[in-house]
Amino acid sequence: MKSREMCDEQMLVEEPMSDSPISMNQSYDPASIPEYPFPMEQIPRMSINDPRLQHLIETSQPVVITDSQLVQPALKWNLRYLKSNLGDGLYYVYSSHNNRFKYFDKERAKQCSSFKQPTTRKEVAFSDFIEMLKKCNESTERIYLQQTLNDTVGPNIVQDYLQFNWHFVSRIQSKMQWGDLSSNLLLIGQEGNITPVHYDEQENFFAQVSGFKRCLLFSPDQFECLYPHPVSHPCDRQSQVNFSNPDYQRFPKFRDAHAVEAIVGPGDVLYIPMYWWHQIESLASAEPYDHGFTDDAASSCGSDTSDEDIPPVTVSVNFWYRSSPLPQQIEYPISAQQRVSVMRNIEKMVGAVMGSPDEVANLLRTIVDGRYNMTSREAT
């Protein structure tokens, strides 16, 4: 396990482009990293040319790629540039009364009267998002923009997007026989925001554009330690465990959880394999955040409040690729990913037939109790 000091050194980011607004020697504030009770190892960081890279991706191991230039044209995406160039589309902005932004399915939430929504969501113009950010300075509310990039973006963003390093990602996509790129999610959140631990059913190249994020990953074989909500719950795929305040009575196997960690900065791309659990935390920058409005505050933002009031944000863009958990030929023992997929399918099937989550538990217990949960000696 590498020491935090080594990590901090690694995080000194070279200026990526001469006309880039990213200043040299950018780094994060180590004091902004939350502490947790589980052990952590570092995710390897390597060059696009490193011969180990392909093997890691082939075997579904997380890795940080440091020089892919995947989103190089986006490294100039500060708030001012985005405001001028994102176009007049609407953006989903989530609000939370604490720093956690736990995902939930809105449709399922409507059907579940006892469910307390952890965040609220608004669809707003990008300029309104900036006004909302300013208001966050006056309250404890925090916000997080999370919107799939779509065809409402302006021509400069289209140009930037076309100049992403598609050669790099498409080569991996075809080598790994992944399906289509399903979407690119743009994430702009305040420093300190946390996306709590969950897994996705897609392969992910997670590209950091501005600011720093701490990414904690757990392999799919830690399903038992992380206690996901039932598949029918609005928070399907999300862990029930809150790392900042773990309830060991309810979740005793969380004591066995162990993470791998990466701190990503501008230009880094983290490969998050499908079904790998991840918690993503926006860290505080060590330097003052340059949103780009400082020179022409009055004209740029067009509002009563000063642009100086905009709190610092982090910006990321992910690349989600469809993939199948089942290979053409199943090999035994099945992988941890396949095991999760099988469990999900069984849970969904029983839930669909029985109609209620309580019935799922009863039915599965009836199948197992006294029959499969015995030692092999008792069973004979």
Ligand X SMILES: O=C(O)CCC(=O)C(=O)O
Q: How far apart are CA 288 and CA 309, in angstroms?
A: 12
Spatial CA neighbour of 12 closest among 24, 30, 21:
24
Closest separation in Å from C-beta 111 to ligand X:
24
82, 187, 260, 317: which one contacts ligand X (CB under 6 A)?
A: 187
103 or 289: whose CB is closer to Fe ion? 103
Within positions 202 to 231, which residues make up the interface with ligand X, using CB under 6 A?
204, 206
259 or 280: whose CB is closer to ligand X? 280
Closest separation in Å from C-beta 129 to Fe ion:
21
Handedness of CA 131, 133, 138, 143 (dihedral sign): positive
Q: How far apart are CA 216 and CA 32, in angstroms?
A: 15
Closest separation in Å from C-beta 377 to ligand X:
45
Distances in whole angstroms, Cα of residue 332 to Cα of each of 146, 276, 328, 329, 335: 39, 20, 13, 10, 8
Binding mask 222-241 for Fe ion (x = CB under 5 A): --------------------
What is the rounded end-to-end Cα distance, in angstroms, of the chain? Answer: 45
Stretch that binds ligand X, among 42-50, 73-81, 200-208, 302-310 (CB under 6 A): 200-208
200 part of the interface to Fe ion, by CB under 5 A: yes
Closest separation in Å from C-beta 236 to ligand X:
14
Closest separation in Å from C-beta 115 to ligand X:
21
273 or 292: whose CB is closer to ligand X? 273
69 or 323: whose CB is closer to Fe ion? 323
85, 184, 300, 316: which one contacts ligand X (CB under 6 A)?
A: 316
- Among ligand X, Fe ion, none, the one that 280 touches (CB under a kind-dependent 5 to 8 A) is ligand X
Handedness of CA 238, 367, 341, 353 (dihedral sign): negative
- Hey, what are 35's tokens? 């502490």
Taking CB atoms, the residue at the shortest distance from ligand X is 195
Strand ranges, E, within 110-202:
120-125, 142-148, 181-183, 185-190, 194-198
10, 195, 239, 323: which one contacts ligand X (CB under 6 A)?
A: 195
Phi, psi of 153 (to 5 degrees): -70, 150
Residues with Cβ within 8 Å of residue 183, at least 6 apart in sequence:
148, 149, 320
212 or 293: whose CB is closer to ligand X? 212
318 part of the interface to ligand X, by CB under 6 A: yes
Residue 194's Cα: distance from chain center in Å?
9
335 part of the interface to ligand X, by CB under 6 A: no
Q: Is the preceding peptide bond at 333 cis, omega within 30 degrees of 0? A: yes
Distances in whole angstroms, Cα of residue 168 to Cα of each of 33, 48, 134, 159, 161: 31, 8, 38, 18, 14
201 part of the interface to Fe ion, by CB under 5 A: no
119 part of the interface to ligand X, by CB under 6 A: no
Closest separation in Å from C-beta 321 to ligand X:
12
- Hey, what are 310's tokens? 């905009």
Stretch that binds ligand X, among 63-71, 151-159, 199-207, 287-295 (CB under 6 A): 199-207
- Among ligand X, Fe ion, none, the one that 335 touches (CB under a kind-dependent 5 to 8 A) is none
Spatial CA neighbour of 274 closest among 338, 342, 213:
338
**Could you list the residues that contact Fe ion (CB under 5 A)?**
200
**Could you list the residues that contact ligand X (CB under 6 A)?**
185, 187, 195, 200, 204, 206, 278, 280, 316, 318
